[in-house]
Structure formats: structure tokens, C-alpha cells
Amino acid sequence: LSQVPFTYIEHESNGKLWPGIHRLFGAVERFQVVNSYGLFRRMTGVGGRPEVVLEGSYDGHSWTEIEFMYKPGNVSAAPAVVAPHQPRLDWQLWFAALGHHHGSPWFSSLVLRLLQGQRDVIRLVQVDESRYPFSARPPTFLRAQLYKYWFTGPSEGSPGRAPWWRRQHVQEFFPTVSLGDPTLENLLSQHSLKDKPPLRRRSDAPLPWLLGWVRGLSRPFSGPAVLWTLYLVATTVGVLRALGPRARGGPPPTRHKARGERNGVRGEGRGRPGGEPHGEGRQGEGRPGPKKKK
């Protein structure tokens, strides 16, 4: 029955269903037994994967694409393996590509930070700053284009190394802006994203210091590398703890001696080699036993 509502988005498939299923669905539809709800009911990549490509320039004529670490960009770059890391910025850019940039106001803030050359934001784009084309000096202009990406087939590409992707330009996603541009300033003002004075924090607070120290240690590494390192360390520690007692070995457990053995006597109440009871041995050595009354 669920095939009826699920095929509403594909009229050709809906028309090929057996008419009896349509009649049965119509009879129970008011009870809402089945419906078309589902996570990712329709995948957006069927007609091409939409992707936003940022471009920077110093003169407004010659543009250079800004490559991200994980999302598709360069058609010759293989898809990145990121699990179990979740690259939030790349993931949000995919959602931004599904609509207008007004639906993703944070994108204007991203453009502003890249124009300002903020190092922390640049590291979200590329951990290795040598791969960021504007690491020496921030770009003067930024813009964004919308493309649709498809995986290439075995027969596509040049005789040499075939590209992983093929893409088609759709439209401009974000207009050309620079620092102080009225368009950018209006977008930032609409969503209250303009620069604000930083919050005052105690310089001796331990938590900010600890977080900054950890962040400094992990700065040269990508997110997947940090997570996999933590997982491997935890797994190694667990295995060593499980195998530790067996590997170390040690002396056999000591057997506690009985009370008689600690006193040099084996057995309970035996003081003579013949095995006589302790009390009987003393009586047989000249001590008369108690007389019995007749």
C-alpha cells in the first residue's frame, strides 16, 4: 500500500501500479495506515549533486577556486573518506546549495571571515594552509557559483587518468563582494552578523586555557586523523589491559596452611607416628584413666 503515496513524486511509476492497489489504498486512506513520510524521501543527487564553489580574486577578473577538504570541488579529486568525522562546514554547504543563499545567512558570515583572512575560519576550509590559495594574503573579492556534479563513467574522460567528476554550471550563487561592499553589509545587518565586541573572559580561567591547549596540539591534523588516533589509542589500551595479566605471568597462588601444619603437626590431634590420638597417647604412658563405677 505504501507504494501508492511513495510513487506520487514519479507519475510514470504511479501509473504502472496495479489498479487494485489504488482501490485498496483509497479504501483505507482515511485511517492513515500508510503515508509517504521518510528520511530522504527523494535524494537530491539523482539529477546531479548541487555544490557551491567559492572563488576569490585580487583584481575581479582572474578568479581562483577555493578547494575544501571534503566536499566535491576539483573534478580530478577523489571523494574524501571522513568517517567517523562529521565535517560540519562542508555538510552545511551542501544544504546551502539546495536553495538560495538567503536561506543560509551564515554563508555571508563565512564570506566576511575569508575576506578578513581569519586563520581559524581558513582552517575549516583547509588544515594545510599551503593548499589554500589565499594563505599569504586574503582575497580582495569573493563570489560563489552553483554547479551540479555527477560521477564519471568508465568510458568518460581522457585516455590517461580520468576525472572523478563531471560538472555543469547552473547559476551564480553569491554575488561578487569585497570588504565594505554595500551588498555584503546589508546581508550581515539583516541577520545581525556584523562584528561585535568580544566577550570579556578571565585570563586565569582553567577551561578556556585547557581547550586552547588541546586545540593547539590538534591544529596540524585533520578531523579524521585526530578521531582515528583517539580510537586506536583507546583500542590499544584496552587490548593491553586485557592481555596484561597473561603476559606478565607471576608466581602461582600460595596455598594457606592449616592450623595443624603451621604448628608442625600434620593432621588433627595426631602427635605420635602411630597415628594415635593425642589424648590416648598420653594415657598409655603411665597415667591411669578414670575408674568406672561398678
DSSP structural state of residue 83:
T
Q: Examine residue 111 and state whether it is found in any structural domain, yes or no.
A: yes
Residue 161 clears pLDDT 60, i.e. is over it? yes
Residue 146 has pLDDT above 90, yes or no: yes
Of the residues 179, 194, 209, which one is the last residue of a structural domain? 194
Distance CA 137, CA 123 (A): 15
Pair (60, 14) in one structural domain: no
The mean-pLDDT minimum among 99-113, 129-143, 189-203 falls in 189-203
Note whether residue 151 is domain-resident. Answer: yes
Specify the pTM: 0.64
pLDDT score of 13: 74
Assess whether pLDDT exceeds 80 at residue 285.
Answer: no
The rounded distance, in Å, linking the Cα atoms of 57 and 65 is 9
Q: What integer is the mean pLDDT of 67-74?
A: 93
In a domain? residue 246: no
Q: Do 81 and 35 reside in the same domain of the chain?
A: no
Pairwise CA distance, residues 96 & 106, whole Å: 10
Domain tally, the chain: 2
Residues 6 and 58 in one domain: no
10 with 68, same domain? no
Q: What integer best gives the mean pLDDT of the chain? A: 80
Of 157-166, 179-188, 269-278, give the lowest mean pLDDT range. 269-278
| pLDDT for the residue numbered 172 | 96
Strands annotated E in 139-252? 141-151, 165-177
- One domain, residues 157 and 81: yes
For residues 38 and 166, membership in a common domain is answered with no
The CA distances from residue 271 to 64, 261, 268, in Å, are 102, 12, 9
190 within some domain:
yes
- The C-alpha cell at 187 is 546581508
Mean pLDDT of 231-257: 74
- Per the domain annotation, does 220 fall within a domain? no
Q: Which residues pair with 166 in a beta bridge?
A: 150
Other beta carbons within 10 angstroms of residue 251's beta carbon come to: 5
Q: Is there a single domain that holds both residue 149 and residue 118?
A: yes
Determine the Cα angle at 98 with ends 171 and 79, to 5°. 90
C-alpha span between 246 and 251 (Å, rounded): 12
Mean predicted confidence (pLDDT) in 3-29: 78
65 belongs to a structural domain: yes
Residues 12 and 85 in one domain: no
Confidence of residue 281 (pLDDT cuts 50, 70, 90): very low
Instruction: List the domain range (segments joined by +) for residue 118.
Output: 49-194
Higher pLDDT, 256 or 76: 76
3-state secondary structure of 256: coil
Shared domain for 178 and 82, answered yes or no, is yes
| Same structural domain, 12 and 102 | no
| Average pLDDT estimate for 129-137 | 92
Residue 225 lies in a domain: no
Q: What whole-number distance in Å separates Cα of residue 213 and Cα of residue 219? A: 10
Q: Are residues 76 and 171 in the same domain?
A: yes
d(CA 252, CA 232): 34
Residue 63 counted as domain residue: yes
Residue 58 banded pLDDT, cuts 50, 70, 90? very high
Whether residues 84 and 175 fall in one domain:
yes
Using an 8 Å Cβ cutoff, are 121 and 114 in contact? Answer: yes
Who's near 173: CB < 8 A, 6+ residues apart?
Answer: 52, 96, 97, 101, 144, 145, 146
